[in-house]
Amino acid sequence: MGERTTGGPGLRASLFPLTGPLRFLLLSSFLIPLGSFMVLPFMSVFLHERLGMGLGAVGVVLAVASLVQFSGGIVGGALAERIGLRRTMVWALVVRTAGFTGLLLALRWPPLAVWALVLTCCGAALYLPANKAYLVHGVDDARRPAFLSAGNAALNAGMAVGPLIAGPFVLSSPGWLFAAVTALFLAITAGHARLPGTDGAHPLASEDTARPGLLAGVALLPFAANALAFYLHFHFQHFLAVYAVERASSAFYSVVLLLCFTLVIVVQPLASGLIRRMPYALALAVGFTGLATGSAVLAAGTRAALLAGGAMITLGDIVLFLKNDLEALRRSPRSDAVVFGQQRLAAGLGACASGVLGGQLYGLGERAGHTGWFWLLAAVQCLLLPPLLLTLRRRTARLPVSDGDHEGAPTRDDTDGRIPGR
């Protein structure tokens, strides 16, 4: 295959020319997180200060919402396999729009805010697997990393810009803010309803056979690697804020986040071809080493260490998250939407474990007066836990995965290098 002898198509050649539906989908990949992150990052402040909820209750609500948003993706993938990608995206956006409408109504009836937040997370869980599957539908294997990384870049750009726009208004004028976000989602939903449908129901989902379970056909090693990557990443996601604000300021913490978002937006699309060609074992080693190095640097606690550590962790994430998705697509016989849903479930399990275990460890360090030790312990975990994946690698070595785990190598189930249903 050409990918083994050349560098493969460049980023521009991989992405262009774009069809109208794909241009709209990439624009939506920016607008949806833009609207969402005009609201969701401020929900703890909004629930506590505006609606008067206790911090303990706020923490429980946010934990449940996060778990639903990540792990519910496996339901979204199964739904897309059953009713189609476009219909799933439309219904998901209807649910999410209803959630933002509920937040607007919660200004008059505060208890509705909790249910509205959970509803928006349900919509996100249903939407993302279908969105990613639609983005790569009919795209050959060599171009898939470019499309996935472009979608990730658009998503991170929206996440970065949303809070900057909404910050001044979330407490002073939340009604206008929620109304604007609701109107934005109504427009996006209408646009999705006009997208062309996708052809090709997956063979496993035919009427003549029993429907497979949600985890049937899961690619075990990429699933476990994704759970572990998100578990280690969410040490950074959950606890950097309190660590950075204590040593610098909230404004400097925002600078660190902006750097991390920028790296994802710029680096991942440019590096997508290299990540695709990288052997899976090497990608895991590079990614987890980046997480370990960045966590160790954070332990220094200086402003330079916060910037450098955040950058190293983000570079490790760029390799791990993209390569795990690509490898799961290659190894699993299920449809793309189901594979993405399974990977979201792994992410949710890892994030949940990080919140529970990481919170206990950070609390111990805080009580001991040495929170820097939390990051050193995280770095140790980044080095010691990944070798456990080797046991899964040995178990899956008997599967028909050839050519040193290079991305794109056909398996026994491939037809002309393509996995059925893709």
Cα–Cα distance for residue pair 217/335, rounded to 1 Å:
10
Cα 43 to Cα 40: distance, rounded to the nearest angstrom:
5
pLDDT at 354: 81
Q: Which two tokens stand for residue 364?
A: 């111990």
pLDDT for the residue numbered 14:
59
| Lowest-pLDDT range of 2-16, 159-173, 384-398 | 2-16
Distance between CA atoms of residues 305 and 294, nearest Å: 9
- Check residue 402 and give its pLDDT: 42
pLDDT of residue 185: 96
Q: Which two tokens stand for residue 238?
A: 């959950």
Q: Which of 51-60, 61-70, 81-90, 209-218 has the lowest mean pLDDT?
A: 51-60
What CA–CA distance (Å, rounded) separates 299 from 375? 5
DSSP string, 160-212: HHHHHHHTTTTTTSHHHHHHHHHHHHHHHHHHHHTSPP-----GGGSTTSPPP
Q: What is residue 170's predicted lDDT score, i.e. its pLDDT?
A: 63
The least confident of 150-164, 265-279, 311-325, 392-406 is 392-406
Region of poorest pLDDT, from 140-149, 165-174, 299-308: 165-174
In 227-359 the beta strands, taken as DSSP E runs, fall at none
Task: Kindly report, residue by residue over 11-66, the tens digit of the pLDDT.
Answer: 555 566 677 888 899 999 999 999 988 887 677 667 777 677 775 677 677 777 87
| Cα–Cα distance measured from residue 29 to residue 32, given in angstroms and rounded to the nearest whole number | 6
Listed range (80-84, 179-183, 191-195, 238-242) with the worst mean pLDDT: 238-242
pLDDT recorded at residue 202? 47
Q: Quick one: pLDDT at residue 396? A: 59
CA atoms within 13 A on the CB side of 81: 29
Structure confidence by residue, pLDDT tens digits, 315-330: 999 999 999 999 999 9
Given a contact cutoff of 8 angstroms between Cβ atoms, the answer to whether 197 and 137 are in contact is no
Q: Residue 230 is encoded by which pair of tokens?
A: 């998100």
Predicted pLDDT at 326: 93
**Tens-digit pLDDT profile for residues 104-133:** 898 888 778 888 989 999 999 999 999 989
Provide the 8-state DSSP code for 356: I
For the chain, give the mean pLDDT. Answer: 81
Tell me the one-letter amino acid at 252.
Answer: F
Residue whose C-alpha is closest to residue 136's, from 278, 272, 237, 234: 272
Instruction: Measure the N-to-C terminal CA separation of the chain; round to a whole number of Å.
Output: 19
Structure tokens at 402: 């050839």
Q: What are phi and psi of 38, to 5 degrees?
A: -75, -15
pLDDT at 68: 85
- pTM comes to 0.75
In the predicted model, is pLDDT for residue 216 greater than 90? Answer: no
Rounded CA-CA distance 26/148 in Å is: 10
Q: Which helix (H) or strand (E) holds 347?
A: helix 336-353
Cα–Cα nearest to 173, from 58, 59, 36, 42: 42
| Structure confidence at residue 192 (pLDDT) | 95
Contacts of 367 (CB under 8 A, 6+ apart): none
Res 65: pLDDT = 81
